[in-house]
């Protein structure tokens, strides 16, 4: 992430093609450009969170370095190490709490969830992933949360990505969905445990994020 102040009037790419709302499967929706109206405030809050809890490459349970660098905010944060994947109230880097969830994050996540049909969303954590060129996330299910009733809300910022939208089984052939800066994906209900992933990020430059994709992924974990 570069340190320049966001240029509110700069040439920020937006997604001009495709419907504003796209259903991926029952319970899963892409909201095109949904984060654009709040992008400047979101970006500023993101820099504050990353200053308080710096991004780092965690280790997988098998001991590999993740290609994605992560941090979190909220009352707990997503952690991976030799003991496995989990949510922890403490940031292992500092031993202290994670930064609080910025109001602009919470509001964006709640509004996106409501538009996608999930009223009353109360996420307690936001995992922030930074993908450099080539970074990826292999197909997986999100099942370390205690609450599968609540949806997952994922905000895409910076470089575009190809999101893999799989089925209930790992072997189900995934849909490939292009996500660009400002798109928000919501999955819950019958879609909550679907397999998903992100293909390796391709080279490019985004005015705010540089050669990175950043995702904000909201969950009710505790
Ligand atoms: C994304 N992240 O970064 C999606 N899931 O766009 C995830 O799906 C994810 O980064 C579970 C645990 C960590 C993650
Ligand atoms: Fe996931």
Give the per-residue SS3 of 161-197: EEEEECCCCCCCCCEEEEECCCCEEEECHHHCCCCEE
198 lines ligand 1 (CB under 6 A): yes
Token pair for residue 124?
A: 């307690």
Separation in Å, CA 128 to CA 8, 23, 89, 119, 153 = 22, 24, 16, 23, 12
Give the chain's mean pLDDT: 92
How far is the C-alpha of 213 from the C-alpha of 19, rounded, in Å? 22
The finding on whether 91 has its CB within 6 A of some atom of ligand 1 is: no
- Ligand 1 center to 1 CA (angstroms): 19
Q: What tokens appear for 21 in the block? A: 């709302």
Q: Encode burial over 127-144: b for 16+ CB neighbours within 10 A, e otherwise.
A: bbbbbeeebbbebeebee
Q: What is the pLDDT confidence band of residue 15, given thresholds at 50, 70 and 90? A: very low
* pLDDT tens track for 53-83: 999 999 999 999 999 999 999 999 999 999 9
Residue pair 170/195 in contact (Cβ under 8 Å)? The answer is: yes
Q: Round to whole Å and give the CA distance between 124 and 136.
A: 25
Beta strands in the chain (DSSP E): 21-25, 28-31, 69-74, 77-81, 84-88, 125-132, 137-140, 152-158, 161-165, 175-179, 184-187, 196-198, 212-219
pLDDT in tens, 130-154: 999 999 999 999 999 998 999 999 9
What average pLDDT does the segment 6-17 reach? 42
What pLDDT score does 18 carry? 55
Q: Which of 70, 68, 1, 30 is nearest to 163 (CA)?
A: 30
Q: Which residue of 56, 142, 201 sits with most ligand 1 atoms within 8 Å of its CB, as the best mutation to test the pocket?
A: 142
Q: What is the pLDDT of residue 1?
A: 42
Residue nearest atom 12 in ligand 1 by C-alpha distance: 142
Q: Dihedral, CA atoms, 186, 191, 194, 199, nearest 10 degrees?
A: -30
142 ligand 1 Cβ < 6 A: yes
Closest residue CA from atom 8 of ligand 1: 197
Q: What fold does the segment set 2-219 form as a domain? A: Jelly Rolls (2.60.120)
Percent pLDDT > 70 in the chain is 91
CA of 213 to the centre of ligand 1 (A): 12
Pocket lining: 215 vs ligand 1, CB cutoff 6 Å: yes
Q: How many residues does the chain have?
A: 222
- 191-200 confidence digits (pLDDT tens): 999 999 999 9
pLDDT over 50 (residue 12):
no
Ligand 1: nearest atom to the Cα of 163: 6
């Amino acid at each position: 992430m570069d340190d320049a102040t966001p240029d509110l009037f700069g040439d920020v790419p937006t997604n001009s093609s495709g419907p504003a709302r796209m259903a991926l499967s029952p319970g899963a929706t892409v909201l095109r450009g949904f984060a654009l109206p709040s992008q400047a405030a979101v970006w500023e809050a993101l820099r504050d969170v990353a200053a308080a809890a710096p991004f780092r490459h965690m280790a997988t349970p098998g001991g590999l370095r993740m290609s994605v660098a992560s941090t979190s905010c909220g009352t707990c944060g997503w952690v991976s190490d030799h003991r496995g994947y989990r949510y922890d109230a403490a940031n292992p880097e500092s031993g202290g709490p994670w930064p609080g969830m910025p109001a602009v994050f919470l509001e964006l996540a709640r509004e996106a969830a409501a538009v996608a049909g999930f009223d009353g969303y109360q996420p307690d954590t936001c995992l922030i992933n930074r993908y450099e060129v080539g970074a990826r996330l292999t197909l997986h299910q999100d099942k370390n949360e205690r609450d599968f009733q609540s949806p997952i809300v994922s905000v895409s910022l910076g470089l575009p990505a190809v999101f893999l939208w799989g089925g209930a089984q790992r072997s189900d052939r995934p849909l490939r969905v292009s996500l660009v800066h400002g798109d928000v994906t919501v999955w819950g209900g019958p879609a909550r445990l679907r397999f998903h992933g992100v293909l390796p990020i391709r080279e490019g430059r985004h005015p705010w994020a540089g050669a990175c994709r950043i995702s904000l992924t909201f969950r009710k974990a505790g």
